[in-house]
Amino acid sequence: MSVNALLTQLTLQEKASLTSGAEFWYTVGVDRLGIRPIMVSDGPHGLRAQPTGGDHVGLSGSVPATCFPPAATVASSWDPSLLYEVGRAIGQEARAINLSVVLGPGVNIKRSPLCGRNFEYLSEDPYLAGELGVGIVDGIQSKGVGTSLKHFAANNQETDRLRVSAEVTERALREIYLPAFEKIVTTSQPWTVMCSYNKINGVSSSENHWLLTDVLRDEWGFEGLVMSDWGAVYDRVAAAAAGLDLEMPPALPYSPDAIVAAVTDGSLPEEVLDDRVRAVLRLAEQGAPILDLDESYDADVHHALARRVAGESAVLLTNDGLLPIAPGTKVAVIGEFARTPRYQGAGSSQVNPTKVVSPLDALSEVFDTTFAAAYTIDSYEVDDALVTEAVDVAKDADTVVMLIGLPGPEESEGFDRTHMNLPANQLRALAAVAEANPRVAVVLVNGSSVLLGDVTPHASALLEAWLGGQAGGGAIADIVSGAVNPSGRLAETLPHRLEDSSSYLNFPGAWQKVLYGEDVFVGYRGYDASHIDVAFPFGYGLSYTSFETSDLEVVTRGSVATNDLAASVSVTVTNTGAVSGRHVVQVYVSDPVASVARPPRELKGFTKVALDAGASTRVSIDLDQRAFSFWLETLGRWVVESGDFVVAVGDNSRDLPLTRTITVDAPPVAAPLTEWSTYQEWLADEQGRALLDEAAAAGQPDLRSYGDLVEVIGNFPLMSLATFAGMAPDHDTVLSMAATWAERHGAGR
């Protein structure tokens, strides 16, 4: 039976019930019409499914699943095809447990280094987050399993997350916080989108008609279902009117009863409820085939994939030649994290892994190892006995591999961090070990960025391994031994100080409001605009080989006038080193002269290439018109201004040796003229200036006759100048001029 046919058979009570879930992880079914409940589950980096029910908050008792590296890690791969592979594997695991919708990925922007959930998010850059998000969504949905793009939108902190209002300009929303969602929706049509807990400019996301209907559905053409985050519905009727289809988990019987009452008294039109029900029925129809599957997956194959992904995502930050270490070398493996690995974040994304391989065990398969804990991870106090033992072990080894990082309680869903420091006991142990044996390769295990000023002086090599998932230990051994050549690049800037972050003075807000005062200057955009030195820039990463990029060519086509401006950016990449490797070519665009404050440069394209030693290849990266645009709130649309743009190519946001300047011709960008436009705005507009001339010819005063006064008070609105008798046209003339301008431009008054 078709969705519309089913709709005619449902009672009002059944319709209302369908728009709230049946229980924590299941939608409502209607047996008499063959509508089957489907299961949804957390799963951004691996499934956290509870098919037979879980605890009262759904956080424990999940079935075993492959724990892939979380988003903060895989983002550093800069490889959408790799995320596609992860997505396909997660999709297959979902099929094996009859799971219809995976709740992920999360593509919220890393506005502040302190957000407690940063390990679940991809990047500080919306372009990178969008491209990577497409990869994992396409991968999961290629297996006939749905995704839930989250958390829509401006969910950038955990502090007071259910009540806080993100006070943010529409320009910042359009340029920073929405583009990743837009890219994934318009490219991949995720089955569902999950609204966030927070308010945006005072309106809860679940009740935000502009967000859920005007933007998501009407502008972007979203065809799927909008569901709530768990507990994000505060008024079920208002949420339904705004465009929220499914409340999870259900507030029973209150939400369905409220919907019935609202339809009955006419405050919620039944056709609006029908729209919500259609979305639920379509999702149930999409997810139903999965319920009858009898499939499995190869856990060992998925573990191997997880190991490869972790290896390709680790970022080599420094290396004085210590790495790679020859297999068989006598290596001191130091740090409790080597024996007791931390490989994922805490909260709703926490996976029950199929198996876990520790770095110590993996390194011991390759090297002649000894071990010392050096510190405890359940206390930040220095343990002198453990430090002494670590020093003795380090002295007796050829090389040291020391793991340090963030203990689990330092970062989790539910709360934000208050600092970026590594634990003092780990730093004290590192200093002592490095004094005993300076040949120290430091491996970082953390889901959020940390300050490295007390680390780099003691590290002959520094590897940011992030949270590596269940196979992260093997990936660390692969890179340290040279079996894998590191190719990860930072998806977020690593600053010298927390205070350097552009959101520092406005995070996390107070009294249920947080001001996004940095506007579009988030991450490297803010550091670069303020000329702030950073520890490691966005896009940075080293390799065991070297690459050269040359012969930049930029070819444009189309035009702004026809809304099809585009550019092809081509370069030659050569592996100039002695071993094969992978390199990320990054393309940034700058608009040096603009009518609004724009970041000094913005990532607008990238590609990752694999090359044998001595090999070269030509790569081309396409830029569309959006790459040159900014959001102009006055006009409520994307605009491109005429002038020169700089296209730069290089290794990271601060190493861009290849540049080309292109000139773009575009129609003039100006707001409609009204009586409240300034005198200078009227002068700058060709027809506005003509109307001023006509008024002057008819005997009306002309401010231009007063010479320098145009510079002094020309920024007054024309209607305000009308009160200055004898200096500008009078009120009636100004109103007539504004009406004439609007009529000639087809603008309504």
For strands 658-664 and 315-319, give the pairing: unpaired
Amino acid at 370: T
Task: State both tokens at 116.
Answer: 């407690």
DSSP 68: -
CB atoms within 10 A of CB 499: 9
Cα(74)–Cα(344) distance, rounded to whole angstroms? 12
Residue with tokens 């729209």: 275
Helix residue ranges per DSSP H, 101-188:
126-141, 170-172, 179-188
Helix residue ranges per DSSP H, 288-409:
299-313, 336-339, 359-364, 384-395
Burial of 2 (0-12, 13-18, 19+ CB in 10 A): exposed
Cis peptide before 253 (omega within 30 of 0): yes
| Cβ contacts of 567 within 8 Å, gap of 6 or more | 554, 555, 556, 557, 622, 623, 627, 647, 662
What's the start-to-end Cα distance of the chain, in Å? 49
DSSP 483: S
Helix (H) or strand (E) holding 210: none
Cis peptide before 508 (omega within 30 of 0): yes
**Coil, helix or strand at residue 582:** strand
Q: Are 23 and 7 in contact (CB under 8 A)?
A: no
Cα(556)–Cα(568) distance, rounded to whole angstroms? 6
Nearest Cα neighbor of 247 from 230, 262, 260 is: 230
| Cβ contacts of 711 within 8 Å, gap of 6 or more | none
Nearest Cα neighbor of 662 from 679, 643, 682, 640 is: 643
SS (H, E, C) 380-444: CCCCHHHHHHHHHHHHCCCEEEEEEECCHHHCECCECCCCCCCCHHHHHHHHHHHHHCCCEEEEE
- Apex 483 CA angle, 481 and 488, nearest 5: 95
Nearest Cα neighbor of 111 from 181, 69, 172, 171 is: 172
Nearest Cα neighbor of 226 from 259, 201, 248, 256 is: 248
Cα(184)–Cα(378) distance, rounded to whole angstroms? 40
Q: Are 543 and 482 in contact (CB under 8 A)?
A: no
Can you count the helices (H) and strands (E) in the chain? 23, 26
Cα(249)–Cα(2) distance, rounded to whole angstroms? 27
How many Cα atoms are found within 13 Å in the side-chain-facing hemisphere of 229? 22
Catalytic (active site) residue 622: no
**Coil, helix or strand at residue 186:** helix
Helix (H) or strand (E) holding 666: none
Q: What φ, ψ does residue 66 adopt, rounded to 5°?
A: -65, 125
| Cβ contacts of 694 within 8 Å, gap of 6 or more | none
Amino acid at 495: P
- Which of 125, 160, 229, 478 is the catalytic position? 229
| Cβ contacts of 707 within 8 Å, gap of 6 or more | none
Residues annotated as catalytic (active site), given as ranges? 229
